[in-house]
Amino acid sequence: MPTYHYRCKNCGYDFTEYQSFDDDPITICPSCHEEQIRKVFSAVPIEFKGHGFYRTDSGSGKGSK
């Protein structure tokens, strides 16, 4: 189940919520009860594993000088 990060623009309350893809987004702040909640988007971490990500990993020596 996806995790969504929310922040209230009114009071600054910051929280994370597990929600299904079918659930409606949260719009009411659980702290101040104002309709000022917005999703917070951030960069997704990328982890490279294995070979072939560097020019020196090709093994054939082609294209490297």
Residue with the two structure tokens 């020596």? 61
Q: Are 30 and 49 in contact (CB under 8 A)?
A: no
Tell me what pLDDT residue 28 has: 94
* Whether the Cβ atoms of residue 35 and residue 27 lie closer than 8 Å to each other: yes
What integer pLDDT is reported at residue 15 of this predicted model?
93
Chunked mean pLDDT (size 10), the chain, 65 residues: 90 92 90 93 76 60 51
Q: What is the three-class DSSP state of 16?
A: strand
**Nearest CA-CA partner of 36 in 58, 7, 5:** 7
pLDDT of the residue at 41: 87
